[in-house]
Structure 1
Amino acid sequence: MVSQEKLKVLELFAEGRKQYKLMDFASAKDLFAQALRLDAEDGPSRVYYARCKHYIENPPPDDWDGVFVMQTK
C-alpha cells in the first residue's frame, strides 16, 4: 500500500512535470522542492529540480521540444 505522503509526492511531481513542459520552470521548481521536502530521497524530483534550476539560468529556445541535452559527461 502506498502512503499518503508518497501519493502527495507523486501528485506534486506530476504537476511539476506539467509546468516543466509548459516551460514554467520557476513554478515547476517550487513543486519539485515541495516534493523533496516530503521525500528528500525522491530521485525524479531531484533530477527535475536541478533541470529547472538550469533552465531558469539558461532558458531553452522558444521551440524547445522538452528534451534535456546534457552538456557534460
Structure 2
Amino acid sequence: MISEEKKKVLELFAEGRRYYKLMDFSKALQFFSDALRVDPNDGPSKVYYLRCKHYIDNPPPEDWDGVFVMTTK
C-alpha cells in the first residue's frame, strides 16, 4: 500500500519530469522542490532538483537528448 504522502511525491515528481523533458527547467524545479517539501529524503527528486539548477545556469544545447553528462566525480 502506498501512503498518501508517497502518492503526492510521485505525482509531483512525474510533473517535474514532464517539464524537465520539455527543457522548462524553472518549472520542473518548482515541482521537484514541492516534492522535497513533502518528503525531504526523496532521492530522485533531489537528483533532478540539482540537475535543474545546473541546467538553469548552464543550458543544454537545443538538440539535447535528455541525458545528463557528469563532468566531475
Question: TM-score range with shorter-chain normalisation?
Answer: over 0.9
Match of 1:50 in 2: 50
The sequence identity of aligned pairs, in percent, is 73
Match of 1:9 in 2: 9
Runs of 4+ aligned structure 1 residues displaced above 4 Å come to none
Cα deviation, residue 25, structure 1 = 0.1
SS in 2 for 1:54: helix
Match of 2:29 in 1: 29
Cα deviation, residue 42, structure 1 = 0.1
Q: Does 1:66 align with 2:70?
A: no
| CA–CA distance in structure 2, aligned partners of residues 40 and 71 of structure 1 | 26
Cα deviation, residue 23, structure 1 = 0.1
Q: Give ranges in structure 2 of 5+ residues lacking alignment.
A: none
How large is the Cα RMSD of the aligned pairs?
0.4
Cα deviation, residue 41, structure 1 = 0.3
| CA–CA distance in structure 2, aligned partners of residues 65 and 22 of structure 1 | 10
State how many pairs are aligned. 73
| CA–CA distance in structure 1, aligned partners of residues 13 and 71 of structure 2 | 24
Amino acid at match of 2:60: P
